[in-house]
Amino acid sequence: MKITVFGSGYVGLVTAACFARMGNKVLCVDIDAAKVAALQAGRVPIRERGLDDLVAATITSGHLSFTTDAAQGVAHGLYQFIAVGTPADEDGSADLRHVLAVAATIAAHMTDYRIIVDKSTVPVGTAQRVSAVIRDGLAQRGVGVPFAVVSNPEFLKEGNAVEDFMKPDRIIVGADDERAIREMQRLYAPFNRKSDRLLVMDPLSAELTKYAANAMLATKISVMNEFANIAERVGADIEQVRLGLGSDPRIGFHFIYPGAGYGGSCFPKDVSALIHTAREAGHPARILDAVQAVNECQKNRLFERIQQHFGHDLSGLTFALWGLAFKPGTDDMRDAPSRVLMEALWRAGARVRAHDPAAMTEARRLYPDAEALTLCDDPLSCLDGAEGLVVVTEWNVYRSPDFDDLKQRLRRPVIFDGRNLYDPQMLAEQGFGYYAIGRPVVAPASSAST
């Protein structure tokens, strides 16, 4: 089948490469000529497990190609996937300029039946707006070309996106056009062989499903962080509470890990957009407001812990920071807790020595002139001369460090753990002070108090 994908960002590139892997002829359209040239040469600008090899293999096989020519893209594929960015606007709503611009481009060039597929994460009602743009564009040309608009939201986890696309747990198709539904079923048949995971619904419900899914996961995170904050104040251990909660099959263990708050390109933006949608519809989304507020507070929790130990004036102090990406497996620092922490430390007069297995280049791009930031090539070297260690992202490389080496390198043996990676009792026995999330503060075994 012939497929066109507008947008070669995270969603667009994964979508294009995975469809190409199944033998489809996929043309990816982007307005950035330098990016298109790099991709055509096999250089992938996104860190995503397995994506580099997949893009290279499908380019070599002739199933995947890239262009800046929008007219060529519209002529190429029966399926016209829109996978461009929908950044948050100042009022929290999703900015649909790029989505609607692509719709106008398709309308300007289409000469035969096309299925326009909204793959971008978009607010409820976007399929209707895309349809209106295309109808207006065709009317301006004075032509009557049949088309259908389908909502087909993505459910990809950063760091596991290729696997999620190739082996989906559900495929949502929001459409009212019977021909479009049949064609979408045919397109996704290779991904749907073991059991029928394709759910057909109306476009409005499909659009809401995407936002509701991310809001539900964000809610679990914020609720668990709220429990962690309560645990700190009453002297309970949230990790023991987590085990008790997760053992209930109605709750389960997914997304109930307390930490430094959620970030990334999806949860913050999508929760804000759903709040905006609810308000526009006349409904105050009180729970979602609370989810968002708890998360913003949680991003400051590590800084509060540091001030609890060192006092409010951190002038002249240096802190080692492990983890810059918002989660393991990616270099994405959008809305990452690490950024909130570093900027708070700098305002308090402190310096930061940081390491991340993937996000060092992104950190340099975001903070090119940050004199108080030193990016270190390995986790241990960034400990040298630091007052304490702060763990922000739970990369595997940080899970089992040599604590004797840590103690020798740090000026003071204290760890602020934003992901609850370590055993408090073991650290106390080794002479560390230990501040975690939702757990009692641990003083070294030889100390009477912290």
The set of catalytic residues is 266
Q: Are strands 198-201 and 171-174 parallel, antiparallel or unpaired?
A: parallel
User: Burial level of 326, CB count in 10 A (0-12/13-18/19+)?
Assistant: buried
**DSSP 8-state secondary structure symbol assigned to residue 252:** -
Residue type, 300: N
**Can you tell me whether residue 215 is helix, strand or coil?**
helix
Give the Cα-Cα-Cα angle 357, 218, 287 (nearest 5 degrees): 155
The Cα–Cα gap between 174 and 171 comes to: 10
**DSSP 8-state secondary structure symbol assigned to residue 205:** H
**Can you tell me whether residue 149 is helix, strand or coil?**
strand
**Can you tell me whether residue 272 is helix, strand or coil?**
helix
The Cα–Cα gap between 100 and 40 comes to: 26
Check if the beta carbon of residue 390 is closer than 8 Å to that of residue 412: no
The Cα–Cα gap between 385 and 408 comes to: 10
Give the Cα-Cα-Cα angle 286, 292, 296 (nearest 5 degrees): 145
Give the Cα-Cα-Cα angle 422, 427, 429 (nearest 5 degrees): 150
What residues contact 1, with CB distance under 8 A and at least 6 apart?
A: 24, 25, 78, 79, 186, 187
